[in-house]
């Protein structure tokens, strides 16, 4: 579901509006600022554990939580879409998952930190799909549902907070339908590593809309999307609030405009899909060899 914000209703005579277009990287920066401002996150920074899993949007969240820059954000993503293909970052290139304990970096392995989770601890994991009902889906190429497969049972059982920062460029008609249409063994052909879309039913989705509302109190409405010449994936928003809110929002917009793209990893596990005849199983075998995966019915 979408993270619920409480915005003040602005009377008609007070209303001021702004029209804002954000590229995907600008949206990621905005969303990261919104996540850092959530009460659950602020509480866990004071007393609690926060785990920020891998992903490019998650890299922006790490920067906002720690104040430390991440130069190669592509290396903070285990999987990525680039050159029109789904691929995976080599394990040797991956940056470590961020674990914060009472606001300070911790050397505790993520899996151990997760085992310590209580109700007030927070897991943050970017998503690859969101629908109009706030359902989120996360792509996984691993046979045990990847990173999210390790997170969900613990946070659900312990009523911990799972936050999914996700831009509206990733909006799809229905996450439940999409999940049923995927699976590692489902595809004969694939332009890249075959994946499953894993639902996260207890996740709180934070999009640009929730970020705007949390940070400045404006009402945000997505009205269009798309672009060319490097602005592909741009989302256009109508923002509404009183004069002071809109001025604060414009200061925020100015701070994220011009945000550089996350950038691609320096290498990928799988070769171009065409070199393997777009054969889904053959591409997954390459990944399995690198990661040590096995899967019944696939000779890895």
Q: What is the pLDDT of residue 292?
A: 86
pLDDT for 198 equals: 98
Burial class (CB in 10 A: 0-12, 13-18, 19+), 290: middle
Q: Are 137 and 200 in contact (CB under 8 A)?
A: yes
Spatial CB neighbours of 300, under 8 Å, sequence gap ≥ 6: 284, 285, 288, 289, 293, 294
The phi and psi torsions of 47 (rounded to 5 degrees) equal: -155, 100
Domains of the chain in sequence order: 25-208 (3.40.50)
Residue-wise pLDDT for 50-71, tens only, equals 999 999 999 999 999 999 999 8
Please give the chain's pLDDT, 300 residues, in tens. 898 888 777 777 789 999 999 999 999 999 999 999 999 999 999 999 999 999 999 999 999 999 999 989 999 999 999 999 999 999 889 999 999 999 999 999 999 999 999 999 999 999 999 999 999 999 999 999 999 999 999 999 999 999 999 999 999 999 999 999 999 999 999 999 999 999 999 999 999 999 999 999 999 999 999 999 999 999 999 999 999 999 999 999 999 999 999 888 888 999 999 999 999 999 999 999 888 888 776 754
Pick from 121, 98, 110, 107: which is nearest to 32 by CA?
Answer: 98
Determine contact, residues 56/74, Cβ cutoff 8 Å.
Answer: yes
Helix segments in the chain, DSSP class H: 24-36, 39-46, 56-66, 110-115, 146-158, 175-180, 208-216, 243-256, 280-291
Strand partners, 79: 88
Q: Strand 219-225 to strand 235-241: parallel, antiparallel, or no bridges (unpaired)?
A: antiparallel
Does the predicted TM-score (pTM) go above 0.75?
Answer: yes
């Amino acid at each position: 579901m979408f993270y619920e914000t409480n915005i003040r209703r602005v009377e008609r005579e007070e209303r001021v509006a702004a029209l804002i277009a954000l590229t995907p990287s600008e949206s990621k920066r905005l969303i990261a600022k919104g996540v850092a401002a959530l009460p659950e996150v602020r509480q866990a920074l004071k007393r609690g554990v926060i785990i920020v899993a891998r992903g490019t949007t998650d890299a922006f969240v790490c920067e906002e939580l720690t104040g430390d820059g991440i130069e190669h954000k592509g290396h903070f993503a285990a999987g990525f879409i680039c050159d029109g293909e789904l691929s995976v970052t080599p394990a040797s290139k991956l940056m470590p998952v961020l674990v914060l304990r009472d606001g300070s970096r911790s050397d505790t392995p993520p899996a151990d930190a997760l085992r310590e989770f209580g109700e007030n601890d927070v897991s943050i994991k970017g998503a690859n799909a969101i629908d109009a009902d706030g359902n989120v889906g996360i792509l996984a190429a691993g046979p045990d549902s990847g990173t999210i497969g390790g997170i969900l049972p613990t946070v659900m059982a312990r009523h911990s907070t799972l936050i999914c920062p996700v831009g509206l460029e990733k909006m799809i008609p229905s996450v439940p339908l999409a999940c049923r249409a995927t699976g590692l063994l489902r595809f004969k052909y694939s332009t890249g590593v075959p994946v499953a879309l894993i639902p996260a039913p207890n996740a709180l989705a934070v999009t640009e809309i929730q970020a705007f509302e949390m940070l400045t109190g404006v009402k945000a409405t997505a009205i269009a999307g798309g672009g060319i010449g490097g602005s592909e994936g741009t989302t256009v928003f109508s923002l509404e609030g009183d004069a002071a809110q809109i001025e604060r929002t414009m200061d925020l917009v100015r701070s994220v405009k011009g945000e550089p793209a996350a950038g691609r990893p320096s290498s990928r596990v799988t070769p171009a899909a065409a070199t393997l005849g777009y054969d889904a199983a053959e591409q997954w075998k390459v990944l399995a060899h690198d990661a040590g995966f096995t899967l019944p019915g696939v000779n890895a």
